[in-house]
C-alpha cells in the first residue's frame, strides 16, 4: 500500500511543481527587466533566476517574444532557500506620474552614461496635428509620452537622465487619445513661441548641463524625439538623423536603427523595415554640444502609423527599442 502511494505521489509531482510555477506573457516590446519589474521581481537575483528558468524558451538570447509564456522566479522571502534578493536602488521622479514615480534600478548596462531626452515642440507649439475621428493628435503630447517612457527605461538601467521638456501634470499615460495642453516647460522655463528661440533654449539648457556632466560621465548623448507629418497615404517606419560629419552620431543612429530592424523581423516577420539613417542640417543637431540623435517616430497623418502612437503598448515598445539601441551603442 505504501509503495502504491509513493508511486502515485511521484506521478503527480511534475503536475504539482508546474502548478506552483507562476507564468506570465510579456506585453508588446517589453524587455526582461521591465517584465520582471511589472511582476514585482526586480533586481539582479531575479534576473539571473529568470534566465536559468527560461533557458530553453530564450534559446541563448536575452529577448522576450510576444505571446510566449515565461516562468517567473519564485518570490524571495525570509524562508527562501535562495535568500533575500540584493538591495535595489530606487529613484524618485515625479514627472512619471504618481503610479510610476518610483524607479527601481534593476540593471547596470548604462551605468556611467548620461542622456538628455528632449521631446519635440511643447508649450505654445503643439507641432504636427493628426486626427482620428473627433480626436486631435498633437505631436508634442505623444513625443512627450514616449520620451518619459524612454527616460524611465534608461534610469532603470543605471543611466543619469535629464528630461529637458517637462509637464508636471501629465506623467506617463496609457490613454489612446492624450489630452492636449500648453503646460510644457524647458526644465521650468516657459517655452518661447518663436521657433529659433524655442530651439535655442533647449540647446542652451543641454549645453549648460553637459559642461558639468562631461566631467562625470564617460558617455553623454542627446536624444530628440519627434513625430513627422506627411500625406495621409505615406506610411513610414521610424527614421533617424544625425549631424552632418558626426562620426559618433552616425554610429549611434545606425546602432539604434539596427535594433529596430531586428525587432521588426522578430515581431512582424516578413513585413520588412525601411527606417533610414541620414545626416540632416537641423538646428538642434548643429547647436547642441553632445553627440545627438534625432528620431522621427512616424507619420501622424497616416492611419497605420497612428496606431504606433495611440496604443500605449506601442509607445512603450518604441521606448524599449530606443533604449536597447542606446545600450548597444554604449556597449560599443
- How do residues 120-168 score in pLDDT, each as one tens digit? 999 999 999 999 999 999 999 999 999 999 999 999 999 999 999 999 9
| pLDDT at residue 198 is higher than 80 | yes
Q: Are 321 and 255 in contact (CB under 8 A)?
A: no
Specify the pLDDT at position 83.
Answer: 37
Contacts within 8 Å (CB) and 24+ apart, 212-219: 213/114, 213/160, 213/162, 214/290, 216/114, 217/112, 217/113, 217/114, 217/160, 218/112, 218/113, 219/112, 219/113, 219/114, 219/330
Specify the pLDDT at position 3.
Answer: 55
| pLDDT at residue 39 is higher than 90 | no
d(CA 285, CA 227) in angstroms, rounded, equals 16
**Mean per-residue pLDDT of the chain:** 89
| pLDDT at residue 29 is higher than 80 | no
Q: Which residue has the higher pLDDT, 168 or 83?
A: 168
d(CA 140, CA 322) in angstroms, rounded, equals 18
301, HSE (Cβ side, Cα atoms, 13 Å) = 9
Question: Which pLDDT tens digit goes with each residue over 71-82?
Answer: 999 887 633 333
Cβ-based neighbour number of residue 142 at 10 Å: 29
25, HSE (Cβ side, Cα atoms, 13 Å) = 7
- Which residues of the chain form CATH 3.40.630.40? 90-331
Q: Which residue has the higher pLDDT, 209 or 5?
A: 209
| pLDDT at residue 253 is higher than 70 | yes
CA distances from 255 to 165, 240, 248, 259, 331 (A): 25, 10, 10, 6, 10
| pLDDT at residue 16 is higher than 80 | no
Per-residue pLDDT band for 307 (boundaries 50, 70, 90) equals: very high
| pLDDT at residue 86 is higher than 90 | no
Specify the pLDDT at position 63.
Answer: 81
Specify the pLDDT at position 1.
Answer: 52
Mean pLDDT, rounded, for 239-251: 97
Cell numbers 559618433: residue: 248
| pLDDT at residue 20 is higher than 70 | no
pTM: 0.78
Cell numbers 562631461: residue: 214
Q: Which residue has the higher pLDDT, 64 or 105?
A: 105
* 45, containing H or E segment: helix 44-53
Specify the pLDDT at position 271.
Answer: 81
| pLDDT at residue 12 is higher than 50 | no
Grid coordinates representing 267 are 515581431
d(CA 165, CA 141) in angstroms, rounded, equals 11
Pick the CATH number of 90-331 from 3.60.15.10, 3.40.50.720, 2.60.40.10, 3.40.630.40: 3.40.630.40
| pLDDT at residue 299 is higher than 80 | yes
**What is the rounded end-to-end Cα distance, in angstroms, of the chain?**
65
Mean pLDDT, rounded, for 213-225: 97
Q: Which residue has the higher pLDDT, 138 or 88?
A: 138
Amino acid at each position: 500500500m505504501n509503495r502504491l502511494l509513493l508511486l502515485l505521489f511521484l506521478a503527480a509531482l511534475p503536475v504539482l511543481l508546474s502548478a506552483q510555477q507562476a507564468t506570465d506573457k510579456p506585453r508588446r516590446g517589453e524587455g526582461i527587466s521591465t517584465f520582471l519589474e511589472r511582476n514585482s521581481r526586480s533586481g539582479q537575483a531575479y534576473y539571473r533566476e529568470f534566465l536559468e528558468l527560461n533557458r530553453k524558451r530564450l534559446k541563448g538570447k536575452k529577448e522576450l517574444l510576444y505571446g510566449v509564456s515565461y516562468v517567473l522566479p519564485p518570490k524571495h522571502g525570509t524562508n527562501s532557500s535562495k535568500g533575500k534578493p540584493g538591495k535595489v536602488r530606487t529613484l524618485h521622479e515625479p514627472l512619471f506620474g504618481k503610479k510610476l514615480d518610483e524607479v527601481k534600478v534593476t540593471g547596470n548596462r548604462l551605468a556611467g552614461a548620461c542622456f538628455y531626452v528632449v521631446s519635440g515642440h511643447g508649450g505654445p507649439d503643439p507641432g504636427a496635428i493628426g486626427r482620428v475621428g473627433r480626436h486631435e493628435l498633437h505631436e508634442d503630447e505623444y513625443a512627450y509620452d514616449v520620451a518619459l517612457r524612454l527616460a524611465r527605461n534608461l534610469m532603470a538601467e543605471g543611466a543619469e537622465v535629464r528630461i529637458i521638456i517637462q509637464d508636471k501634470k501629465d506623467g506617463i499615460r496609457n490613454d489612446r487619445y492624450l489630452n492636449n495642453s500648453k503646460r510644457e516647460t524647458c526644465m521650468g522655463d516657459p517655452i518661447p513661441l518663436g521657433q529659433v528661440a524655442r530651439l535655442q533654449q533647449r540647446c542652451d539648457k543641454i549645453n549648460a548641463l553637459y559642461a558639468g556632466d562631461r566631467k562625470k560621465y564617460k558617455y553623454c548623448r542627446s536624444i530628440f524625439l519627434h513625430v513627422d507629418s506627411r500625406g495621409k497615404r505615406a506610411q513610414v517606419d521610424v527614421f533617424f538623423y544625425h549631424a552632418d560629419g558626426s562620426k559618433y552620431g552616425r554610429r549611434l543612429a545606425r546602432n539604434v536603427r539596427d535594433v529596430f530592424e531586428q525587432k521588426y523581423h522578430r515581431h512582424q516577420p516578413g513585413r520588412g523595415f525601411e527606417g533610414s539613417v541620414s545626416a540632416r542640417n537641423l538646428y538642434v543637431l548643429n547647436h547642441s554640444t553632445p553627440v545627438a540623435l534625432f528620431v522621427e517616430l512616424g507619420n501622424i497623418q497616416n492611419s497605420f502609423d497612428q496606431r504606433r502612437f495611440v496604443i500605449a503598448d506601442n509607445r512603450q515598445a518604441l521606448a524599449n527599442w530606443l533604449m536597447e539601441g542606446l545600450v548597444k551603442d554604449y556597449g560599443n
